[in-house]
């Protein structure tokens, strides 16, 4: 995956600087040339763009590997690495701003992916390493997801849709998302956001398509994008279920083979022991 370069803004900045110097002179053949009024804005924007230097995908993946050094079974690791790349690209978009619905969506995907992981402590440690690799707070993800889940369980279809008419901590979060999505300034829609919305509907027992449509309208979100991403999510879950079934079959087969080898070894040891006892008794006789 290609990194996000910070040097690509150098050329326009240099051109803007040269343009300013070219026209800013006291006089030339009786005429005074001045820089266009917009040149300073161009320079400011270029400087701001050049100063934005997010880490590369490789750096984020390396941060994860440094934080969690134990091996991860390939069935989990391949999906985790793909998710990490996708979330890196979301995280470092200029319009990205963390919100609780996004957090709920990611936590939901993570729990689905890691369900059945051999060790619960490792599962949590991987989560911590993953979020920290993106330079975010894993505790905030967990607490915000829990807060939204508890709130959604107490909602109905109507109360979900009518969040803007009520006061409350989660209602304020949703209002803020709605305002940012409407202005399109610092809101960046993502697949995790769509999954977070669907999780709210699930917990409120309000999964009818019309409810989703009305909630998207209230949040100023494109429902077509949400539908598309939810289809991708459902396909992912289906593939995960199949992969985990295959993994379970593999683990069961290997366990049976080990038990058979162990049983055969114990039988051989018993025969050897009996033979030794027999020889000992014969010798004494």
Task: Return the structure tokens found at 123.
Answer: 């599962």
At 3 the three-state DSSP class reads coil
Alpha carbon distance 179, 198 (integer Å): 20
Structure letter (DSSP) for residue 31: B
Can you give the pLDDT at residue 267? Answer: 58
CA angle, 280 then 283 then 285, to 5°: 110
| CB of 151 closer than 8 Å to CB of 56 | no
| CB of 201 closer than 8 Å to CB of 160 | yes
Alpha carbon distance 129, 62 (integer Å): 11
Query: Model-level pTM greater than 0.75?
Result: no
Of 223, 100, 102, the C-alpha closest to 169 is 100
pLDDT digits (tens, 9 = 90+) for 124-166: 999 999 999 999 999 999 999 999 999 999 999 999 999 999 9
Over its length of 285 residues, how does the chain's per-residue pLDDT go in tens digits? 443 333 333 344 444 433 433 334 444 334 343 444 444 444 444 444 557 789 999 999 999 999 999 999 888 898 899 999 999 999 999 889 999 999 999 999 999 989 888 888 999 999 999 999 999 999 999 999 999 999 999 999 999 999 999 999 999 999 999 999 998 767 889 999 999 999 999 999 998 999 999 999 999 999 999 999 999 988 888 877 887 787 778 778 888 888 887 766 665 666 566 555 545 544 444
Alpha carbon distance 43, 116 (integer Å): 54
């Amino acid at each position: 995956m290609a990194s996000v370069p910070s040097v690509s803004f150098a050329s326009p900045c240099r051109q803007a600087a040269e343009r300013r110097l070219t026209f800013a002179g006291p006089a030339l053949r009786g005429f005074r040339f001045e820089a266009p009024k917009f040149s300073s804005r161009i320079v400011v924007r270029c400087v701001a763009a050049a100063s934005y230097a997010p880490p590369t995908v490789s750096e984020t993946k390396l941060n994860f590997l440094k934080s969690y050094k134990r091996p991860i079974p390939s069935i989990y690791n391949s999906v985790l690495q793909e998710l990490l790349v996708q979330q890196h690209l979301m995280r470092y978009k200029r319009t990205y701003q963390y919100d609780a619905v996004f957090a709920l969506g990611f936590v939901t995907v993570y729990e689905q992916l890691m369900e059945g992981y051999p060790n619960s402590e490792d599962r949590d440690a991987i989560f911590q390493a993953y979020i920290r690799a993106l330079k975010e707070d894993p505790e905030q993800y967990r607490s915000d997801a829990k807060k939204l889940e508890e709130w959604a369980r107490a909602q109905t279809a109507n109360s979900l849709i009518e969040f803007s008419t009520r006061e409350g901590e989660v209602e304020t979060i949703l209002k803020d998302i709605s305002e940012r999505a409407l202005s399109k300034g610092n809101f960046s829609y993502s697949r995790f956001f769509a999954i977070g919305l669907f999780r709210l509907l699930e917990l409120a027992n309000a999964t009818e398509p019309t409810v989703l449509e009305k909630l998207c309208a209230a949040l100023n979100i494109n429902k077509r994008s949400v539908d598309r991403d939810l289809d991708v999510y459902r396909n992912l879950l289906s593939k995960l279920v199949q992969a985990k079934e295959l993994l379970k079959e593999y683990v069961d087969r290997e366990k049976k083979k080990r038990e058979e080898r162990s049983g055969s070894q114990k039988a051989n040891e018993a025969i050897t022991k009996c033979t030794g006892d027999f020889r000992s008794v014969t010798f004494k006789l």
